[in-house]
A = this chain, B = another copy of it.
């Protein structure tokens, strides 16, 4: 009998975990980061506060996990690698654009970004828990492209990530232009081939 209990408990835990992550995304979009509380999330998710504290040390940590789960649907441990760097980057960036079209995600992400602009500690947590891990996945894909001869050997990967993924973030955050698939395709093509004339 005890051999059956373990999977049930695991399933119940996973259900609770998903409910908490979903509640965190929805609540931060509704009330903003300063008013987001572990109590509020526990209430919305139908779990006890202690359940949340057992898994996350702070509301920031919980929220960044929620974004990771939302963005990756829990399965994106790597960027696609078909061998065609431009095509793979376009797939990823088009998916990002589609995500940002989702009002729930848009609201939650804006609530978080507003806070990061002024809160040094949250910015550091963003860096270590969300931006950092995502950046590693991107750099892994770019390293593979370097080995395949599709990316110049001497390219600084930190700067490359900023050039490829920054424009979409900016355009979304500051509403400086339409966020379309065409736009991200242009960013990828221009970043790869460069702005200077090719000989």
Complex A-B: 22 CB contacts under 8 Å: A110-B118, A114-B114, A114-B118, A120-B175, A124-B175, A126-B174, A127-B174, A127-B175, A150-B197, A151-B196, A151-B197, A152-B194, A152-B197, A159-B167, A159-B187, A162-B170, A163-B187, A163-B190, A192-B194, A192-B195, A193-B194, A198-B198
**This chain's copy number in the assembly:** 2
Q: Does A186 contact B (CB under 8 A)?
A: yes
**In the complex, what's the smallest C-beta–C-beta distance from A85 to chain B, in angstroms?**
8
Q: Are A116 and B174 in contact (CB under 8 A)?
A: yes
Residues in chain B near residue A192, CB distance under 8 A: 194-196
Kindly identify which residue among B163, B171, B173, B197 contacts A153, using a CB–CB cutoff of 8 Å: B197
Q: Are A163 and B167 in contact (CB under 8 A)?
A: yes
Kindly identify which residue among B149, B160, B166, B193 contacts A166, using a CB–CB cutoff of 8 Å: B166
Q: Are A174 and B123 in contact (CB under 8 A)?
A: yes
Q: Are B110 and A173 in contact (CB under 8 A)?
A: no
**In the complex, what's the smallest C-beta–C-beta distance from A189 to chain B, in angstroms?**
9
Q: Is the interface of A mostly helix, strand, loop or mixed?
A: helix
Q: Are B114 and A110 in contact (CB under 8 A)?
A: no
Q: Are B160 and A190 in contact (CB under 8 A)?
A: yes
Q: Residues 110-137 of chain A: 1 if any B CB is under 8 Å from the residue's CB, otherwise 0? A: 1001101110100110110001000000
Give the most central of A120, A150, A176: most B CB within 10 Å: A176
Q: Does A75 contact B (CB under 8 A)?
A: no
Kindly identify which residue among B127, B153, B173, B199 contacts A117, using a CB–CB cutoff of 8 Å: B173
Q: Are B155 and A190 in contact (CB under 8 A)?
A: yes
Residues in chain B near residue A164, CB distance under 8 A: 195
Q: Does A78 contact B (CB under 8 A)?
A: no
